[in-house]
Amino acid sequence: MDLVIVESPAKAKTINKYLGSNYKVLASFGHVRDLPAKDGSVLPDEDFAMSWAVDSASSKRLSDITKAVKDADTLFLATDPDREGEAISWHVLEVLRQKKALKDKSVRRVVFNAITKKAVLDAMAHPRDVDVPLVDAYLARRALDYLVGFTLSPVLWRKLPGARSAGRVQSVALRLVCDREAEIERFVREEYWQIAAKLATPRDDLFEARLTALDGKKLQKLDIKNKEQADGIKAMLQGASFRALSVEAKPTRRNPAPPFTTSTLQQAASSRLSFGASRTMQIAQRLYEGIDIGGETAGLITYMRTDGVQMAPEALDQARAAIGKEFGDKFLPEKPRFYSAKAKNAQEAHEAIRPTDFSRTPAAMRKYLDADQARLYEMIWKRAIASQMEAAEIERTTVEIEAVNGDRKANLRAIGSVIRFEGFLAAYGVDKEEENSDDEESRRLPEIREGETQACREIDATQHSTEPPPRYSEASLIKKMEELGIGRPSTYAATLKTLEDRDYVTIDKRRLIPQAKGRLVTAFLENFFERYVEYDFTADLEEKLDKISDGQLSWKEVLRDFWTDFSSHVDGTKELRVTDVLNALNDELAPLVFPAREDGGDPRACPRCGSGQLSLKLGRHGAFVGCSNYPECGYTRQFGEGNGEDGENGADGDKVLGKDPHTEEEITLRSGRFGPYVQRGEGKEAKRASLPKGWAPASIDLEKALALLALPRDIGKHPESGKMISAGIGRYGPFLLHDGGYANLESVEDVFSIGLNRAVTVIAEKKSRGAAGRGRAAPAALKELGDHPDGGKVTVRDGRYGPYVNYGKVNATLPKGKDPMQITLDEALELIAAKAGKGGKTAKKPAAKKAPAKKTAAAKTASKKTATKKKE
């Protein structure tokens, strides 16, 4: 029997069916080893030695693989056909060698570009060795990302508290978003007017023509600057006669776009289907790994991480046959179309994304797919089939019109087009994939004859203003990164997800908006690590990494060159004072930190004391703006908020909510270094209360403010102990306090509404669960998943913040949208190991169980991201 190692269990099941009983197929569940998230995992002084850790979940899988290898004749490493897949195969092979499990076993590498029976059997018939240069490129990337992250991030933590991390590609992507925001802030709108005439031919057919020249002068976009100017031209045209000077019909051919790459698929799915990059890749992964279509499981698309735009010869033949069948021979070009990538540093090592079988039309597959899968598959099928169809033939008509009123003349132009032959547009049906067409040119024009006059029905003068460049969407940012040669197909989705998770950007209406924290990090890096966030530098480094994968460069030589300069640059910042950093950031971010005041005053003048100067300051929770006269003047506001002005919000920029009916003191809503809060009175003795999580400042009125300031609230005396029960909001959320013991409440609203009877019941329930002190008893298990490899039960529970898996003292929240009743033991083990590694805890089994005599290395050293899945 032969052993085959793939990445995902879904693939394993399908491939085992194709190969038959003489093969055993096991899944690695992605990466089996990773660099621990701690110093020393990469050692530049020891020729970049790398220390790999195996987590507990992967340890069990590797044990299963090791056992299976002993009974196998040949080991086939069949992980995904890219750099990450090659790396996973290498990791598995290295572990087996360390365990001395291979002995005289034959080891071969196979790759499946598609999960179909033919593709799998063809790949098995043509094995190869592990691609060492491709593994070297992976090692170089992994080492670089680790060294940048674990060298630069601590500098950020020391010099810029509140900043969470920096990364080789992540920081450059963030800079793109922040640079675009700065462009938008600098942009000055300009008013301009456009004038169009609605004309009628002698046959009474209507069309529209736009003004292009006046009195012999060609008009540019911004030449008509105001309403007075526009009204004068409008009056002139209303009294003019119109005549067609020329009519030119020019045939043009529009060629189809190439099939999808990872980048173009993510862009198209974003713009047409409103899918985020991560969502697109999740759906594509499912289509690639296999769908049950009437009792047969088959992959519907080829591998979805690629920057290649070509299709295999057999796919071209299949596509051409499908075109003839679905659309007719007139839609079939004489020869197949061939494409080349335009993106910088594109490797084109793999096929474009295409259907594995063009005869599986979107209509035929729809009944086997969910709604999102069907939409994405249809888009991929149409794009791939259209790429091999005839060009569309379009007739573009341009009509030049002269308007004469006395001694004044104007020129107007009408443009329209007619599709004479649909060509590849037929593949898109009603959509016609018009994303590249000009709205004006897509209009149909009536028959217009040269020399004939037109009747003027109406003159429209419309006001416009120039628009700033748009914020990046996920799609347009990916496109820009691809153009610059930054990142690779497998990294785009993960990079964007990291920026969002770090709170460096937010996504609003599909647009990426940099947050204050992201602007701060970018400004810091541009001022003190400029070279390492330069677009060209990052792209050049990507090119070197690609050359490593081609065997043209030594991976350690590239690391040495990078590390020599980078480490010395980092060393040079050790003496950098925080005041130097803040002064630089005050200048760099002045428009954001100190926006112009409506009264024209100094933006940096303190609105409270008047004599102090505002400046960025750093606190435990990040940056805020404060007065230089501290502690005499305690004015602060959150970084990114505008200056307070005199007016309804008071001289300090604080919103006045009203007065306390008992003390007559003013109640204000303020913003401080730790967020928004309400305050009663002034001075050191003033009572303050932070806004609870989920309470927006805009929703706070006097009633809510008074309720917050009155906390903790006495509910009544316990009928048994005679001691007071009170409710409040603490560091860990809403609570009840009685006789020195705490009981958690479900919501902030309960703090203000709970009565004595219910409070007594909550306290009694807490005691009955056996909880002591401040803790919360573990909810009952929804489901037992099985035993942990180190002993002890793994369970699924439903907690205050949603479902989670539990093992001993480790609780790991389930991913959003994951059905708690569907999670498997393997998935739970990954989550538990990842949580243990992230929190610095060890996943200790329950105390009731006796520890095994010997722990695995993985349980001792939890990696940063245990059982790391391949990045998208």
CB 515 within 8 A of CB 506: yes
**Coil, helix or strand for 200?**
strand
Return d(Cα 773, Cα 551) in angstroms, integer: 62
Look at residues 801, 588, 797 and name the one whose alpha carbon lies nearest to residue 694: 801
Return d(Cα 660, Cα 468) in angstroms, integer: 46
Strands 636-638, 622-627: pairing is: antiparallel
DSSP sequence for 122-138:
HHHHS-B---HHHHHHH
DSSP sequence for 651-666:
TTSPEEEEE-TTT-PE
Q: Residue 572 region, left (φ>0) first, then alpha (ψ -120 to 50), else beta? A: alpha
CB 779 within 8 A of CB 798: yes
HEC per residue, 748-791: HHHHHHCCHHHHHHHHHHHHHCCCCCCCCCCCCEEEEEEECCCC
Strand partners, 675: 672
In one letter, which amino acid is 350? H
Return d(Cα 679, Cα 657) in angstroms, integer: 10
**E-state strands within 323-470:** 392-405, 408-421, 453-465
CA 696 vs CA 350, 441, 630: distances in Å: 49, 47, 28
Task: Give the CB-side neighbour count of residue 210, counting CA atoms within 13 A.
Answer: 13
- What tokens were used for 147? 């060294």
Q: How far is CA 289 from the centre of its chain?
A: 23
Return d(Cα 242, Cα 206) in angstroms, integer: 14
Helix (H) or strand (E) holding 18: helix 9-19
Strand partners, 296: 293
User: In the sheet where 713-717 sits, what is the strand order?
Assistant: 713-717, 724-730, 733-738, 741-744
**Coil, helix or strand for 100?**
coil
CB 139 within 8 A of CB 50: yes
Q: Residue 25: exposed, middle, or buried by beta-carbon count in 10 A (0-12, 13-18, 19+)?
A: buried
Return d(Cα 614, Cα 654) in angstroms, integer: 16
| Rg, the chain, Cα only | 33
CA angle 218, 220, 223 (to 5 degrees): 105
* Total residue length of the chain: 872
Q: Where are the alpha helices (DSSP H) in 274-402?
A: 277-289, 313-326, 362-365, 371-386
Return d(Cα 19, Cα 100) in angstroms, integer: 27
Strand partners, 403: 242, 410
- What tokens were used for 390? 């005839």
In one letter, which amino acid is 579? T
CA 603 vs CA 590, 599, 645, 745, 781: distances in Å: 9, 10, 10, 44, 57
Return d(Cα 356, Cα 299) in angstroms, integer: 7
- What tokens were used for 690? 């932070």
Return d(Cα 315, Cα 311) in angstroms, integer: 6
Among candidate residues 18, 303, 804, 807, the one labeled active-site is 303
Return d(Cα 138, Cα 424) in angstroms, integer: 39
The question of whether 801 is a catalytic residue gets the answer no
In one letter, which amino acid is 70? K
List active site positions.
Answer: 303
